[in-house]
Chains A and B, each alone.
Chain A
Amino acid sequence: ELKVEQNPLFLSMQEGKNYTIYCNYSTTSDRLYWYRQDPGKSLESLFVLLSNGAVKQEGRLMASLDTKARLSTLHITAAVHDLSATYFCAVDMEYGNKLVFGAGTILRVKS
């Protein structure tokens, strides 16, 4: 059974600081997705990582995938208040035709 673990589950950080969210998964997969959810809202796709070594960047967020280590990271550079949200990683269960989600990381950026 595929398990997806995110850490930390809660992150409070000051504006302007850098931090990394980690996503570990338990079985072979080379497809990983990052989503953002604002309170009471649906999920918005951030990054699609489809191969080992994939790196994607959008603004202050950068995501990477290491399939050998079964690890993805979401790096936040110089955080701003607008990044406050819950971030989920999801892994495509190989040949399973379904995504398994992590529990989510609640990010709060303080001024």
Chain B
Amino acid sequence: DGGITQSPKYLFRKEGQNVTLSCEQNLNHDAMYWYRQDPGQGLRLIYYSQIVNDFQKGDIAEGYSVSREKKESFPLTVTSAQKNPTAFYLCASSTPGQGIGELFFGEGSRLTVL
């Protein structure tokens, strides 16, 4: 079945550590996105990529990094520079045509900093 796979589902991190969240899609979508969701809030865009080897900062990119070496994969690294990383992270993909197109989401990764 086609879809988006995020791993791990739950992750605990000590302060000062970098962690990488995986996102893989087999939908053959060109564009991929990372969103952050805090309790009781909407989604905020961290980074997005419309083609391989290219990506753009979203609204809250500070303390995060990404790569897009393959069409199927868009990993997100939460660095020690991110001051408040505890959140629910959602990866999404789409096939932009006229505009962004419908987003399809993975199941999410919940990161907790101890």
Chain A interfacial positions (CB closer than 8 Å to B)? 31, 33, 41-45, 48, 88, 90, 92, 94, 97-104, 106
Distance to closest chain B CB from A103 (angstroms)? 4
State the CA gap A48–B97 with chains docked (Å): 14
Q: Is the CB of B100 within 8 A of A92?
A: yes
Interface size in chain B (residues, C-beta < 8 A):
23
State the CA gap A97–B50 with chains docked (Å): 9
Known interface pairs A88-B43, A104-B42; A31-B100 also in contact (CB < 8 Å): yes
Count of chain A to chain B residue pairs whose CB atoms are closer than 8 Å in the complex: 53
Instruction: Choose one: A31, A98, A104; the contact of B45 (CB below 8 Å).
Output: A98
Instruction: Choose one: A48, A88, A104; the contact of B102 (CB below 8 Å).
Output: A48
Q: Is the CB of B58 within 8 A of A43?
A: no
